[in-house]
Amino acid sequence: MNRWPAISDLESRSNKRLPSFAWDYLDSGTGSEQALDRNLDALARVTFRPQLLKGLMEPSTETSLFGVDYAAPIGIAPVGLGGLIWPGADTALARAAADRRIPYVLSTVGTESPEVAGPEAAGMGWFQLYPPREEATRRDLIDRAQNSGFTAMVITADVPAPSRRERQRKARIRVPPSIGPRLVLEVARHPAWANALRRHGTPRFRCLEKYVDAASMTNMAAFVGANLGGTLSWDYLAAVRDQWEGPLIVKGILDIHDAQRCVDNGADAVQVSNHGGRQLDGAIGAIDALAPIVGRVGDQVPVLFDSGIRDGLDVARAVAHGASFVFCGRAFMFGLAAIGEAGPGHAYDILHEGLVNVMHQTGCESLDQLSDRLTTKPA
Ligand SMILES: Cc1cc2nc3c(=O)[nH]c(=O)nc-3n(C[C@H](O)[C@H](O)[C@H](O)COP(=O)(O)O)c2cc1C
């Protein structure tokens, strides 16, 4: 694994191994991708002042959240259509989570069903809900998550409408893929991806299939567009809160008042995120939104974080800003696309080793000491 010691190594290898439509889907942001860059730039500005001469140290990353013990405050964020990026993605991610003892979040628009992915994650699975318009669908999805062993529910708030995602439009991503000469050529040029496709079959929205009749299956993407999203309101959140018995997390929060209102409406955590720069190109860099939200609600609920994490140093930066848990979307997918099934575990090892190393280098034995080592106190 020393051939790929950094997430950036996995990223460049995935770029080579993925057909261009899959790469564009994974890598892109929205608009001119300013938010995507802003996330990385804002993280890179966070620096530490080490404290030394502490002798032998054994930093611990063990973290417990909602009564579950995890190996580190690092989790796998929901990635819809994972099977298009790498066929078989969701089971590979779920298994890596079970193996490394970290959370894995299955997307509503994932390419595996909760009934299959939940048991694979062996108690490490969380379920992400895009709010279905139909009440019956919502109730059924939540029941299925509950019955499939998912321990937490993440409701995504930051898709009030689809984003334009110009690069994805140019890549002409469709589910199921429309088979034309361009697609055939792309697949033929990427044999590892083609082999994974042969093993796992064409990616499908397996979570949602039962709500769409077979005739309209070819138009699953249209179903997703018409039936999910644009629905979330405070009343909707209350209805989900009523039904879901476990911890409820609202993902995609950037505003302190929204964060407080989530807590007032029964959320057990908020997740600061700008969807990895995929929704609003003018969005604040996610790390810049974190400390103010921790300041507002951090003494009431855990504050989780994602968007722009590319190494263990970034995890440390987010933890130092008050995140109780840090999620990554692309980093785990780069691992999977670069080296297949073993990739997500390797991506985790990179992030984890990096975090432990930063703790050593800064003189922190526990995660909560990291904030004292920041050179600039966050706003
Ligand atoms: C290809 C892709 C698909 C995604 N699909 C979903 C999704 O289905 N649901 C969701 O809540 N977030 C989704 N996200 C956002 C991630 O959960 C997460 O917020 C984001 O990837 C974090 O940024 P990072 O990729 O820089 O780590 C997706 C992100 C990517 C890159």
CATH 1.20.1270.360 is the classification of domain 7-373: no
**Exposed/middle/buried for residue 115 (C-beta within 10 Å: 0-12, 13-18, 19+):** middle
The closest residue, in CA terms, to atom 21 on ligand 1 is 329
Say which DSSP state 73 is in: S
Residues 257-267 pLDDT 10s = 999 999 999 99
Identify the pLDDT of residue 219.
65
User: Phi/psi zone of residue 165: left (φ > 0), alpha (ψ -120 to 50 degrees), beta?
Assistant: left
For residue 206 and ligand 1, the question of a CB distance below 6 A is answered with no
What are the DSSP calls for 260-285, one per residue? HHHHHTT-SEEEE--GGGTS-TTPPP
CA distance 53 to 360: 11
Of 2-16, 19-33, 202-216, 338-352, which gets the smallest average pLDDT?
202-216
Q: Tell me, what amino acid is at 263?
A: V
For residue 306 and ligand 1, the question of a CB distance below 6 A is answered with yes
For residue 93 and ligand 1, the question of a CB distance below 6 A is answered with no
The closest residue, in CA terms, to atom 12 on ligand 1 is 78
Judge whether residue 379 has pLDDT over 90: no
For residue 38 and ligand 1, the question of a CB distance below 6 A is answered with no
Judge whether residue 6 has pLDDT over 60: yes
Distance from Cα 158 to the centre of ligand 1, integer Å: 11
Identify the pLDDT of residue 172.
80
Judge whether residue 2 has pLDDT over 90: no
pLDDT (mean) for 32-46: 98
- The rounded percent of the chain whose pLDDT value lies above 70 is 97
Does the pTM exceed 0.95? yes
For residue 26 and ligand 1, the question of a CB distance below 6 A is answered with yes
Q: With cut-offs at 50, 70 and 90, classify the pLDDT of residue 39.
A: very high
Closest CA to 37 of 332, 308, 314: 308
Average model confidence (pLDDT) for the chain?
95
Residue 275 among the catalytic residues? yes
> Could you say which of 190, 200, 275, 321 is catalytic?
275
Q: With cut-offs at 50, 70 and 90, classify the pLDDT of residue 175.
A: low
Identify the pLDDT of residue 31.
97
Say which DSSP state 81 is in: T
List phi, psi (to 5°) of 364.
-115, 120
Judge whether residue 66 has pLDDT over 80: yes
Atom of ligand 1 nearest to the CA of 81: 3
Give kind and range of the element (H or E) at residue 314: helix 312-320
